[in-house]
Copies of this chain bind each other. A is one copy, B any other.
Amino acid sequence: MAATILDVASLCGYSKATVSRAFASPDQVAEKTRQRVYEAARALNYTPDAIARAMVRGRTDNIGFVIYEKQYPVVLNPFYSPIFESVLQTCARKGYSLFISSDRDLRLPNGQTCVKKQMDGIILAGQSDAQMVMDLRRQNMPVVVLNNALDVDDLTCVTTDQYGGALLAMRHLTERGHRKIGLIAGAFSPHVCTSRYNGYCDALREIGQPLDFRFVQTVEPNAEQAMQCATMMLSLPDRPTAIFCTNDTIAVGTLKAALRAGLRIPHDLAIVGFDDSEISHLVEPELTTVRVDKAAMGCLAAEQLIAQIEGEQSQKQVIQTPVELVIRQTT
Contact = CB atoms under 8 A, between A and B. Distances in A.
Interface of A: 1-2, 45, 47-52, 54-55, 60, 62, 72-76, 78, 81-82, 84-85, 88-89, 92, 97-102, 104-105, 114-118, 138-140, 223, 249, 252, 255-256, 259-260, 278-279, 281-284
Contact of A85 (B73, B92, B223, B281): B73
Contacts of A52: 55
A117 B2 CA distance: 11
Contacts of A249: 282
A284 B262 CA distance: 12
B279 A256 contact: no
Given A51-B55, A82-B73, A116-B48, A99 B101 contact: no
Contacts of A50: 116-118
A51 B259 contact: no
Contact of A117 (B47, B82, B89): B47
Contacts of A99: 62, 97-100
A278 to B, nearest CB: 7
A76 B284 contact: no
Contacts of A97: 99, 101, 105, 118
**Residue from the set A45, A78, A252, A282 with the largest chain B CB neighbour count within 10 Å:** A282
Contacts of A47: 114-117, 139
28 contacts: A2-B117, A2-B140, A45-B139, A47-B116, A47-B117, A48-B116, A49-B116, A51-B51, A51-B54, A51-B60, A51-B117, A52-B55, A60-B118, A72-B89, A75-B84, A76-B82, A76-B85, A76-B278, A92-B101, A92-B102, A223-B282, A249-B282, A255-B284, A256-B284, A259-B284, A260-B284, A279-B279, A283-B284
Contact of A139 (B2, B62, B104, B260): B2
Contacts of A88: 75, 100-102
A118 B62 contact: yes
A322 to B, nearest CB: 21
Contacts of A82: 73, 76
Contacts of A279: 279, 282
A62 B54 CA distance: 15
A73 to B, nearest CB: 4
A82 B73 CA distance: 8
Contacts of A2: 117, 139-140
Contacts of A140: 1-2
A34 B188 CA distance: 41
A106 to B, nearest CB: 11
B117 A49 contact: yes
A180 B52 CA distance: 62
Q: Which 9 A-B pairs have the closest CB atoms?
A: A50-B116, A73-B85, A50-B118, A75-B85, A76-B81, A51-B54, A259-B284, A252-B282, A51-B55
A1 B139 CA distance: 10
A197 to B, nearest CB: 25
Contacts of A105: 92, 97
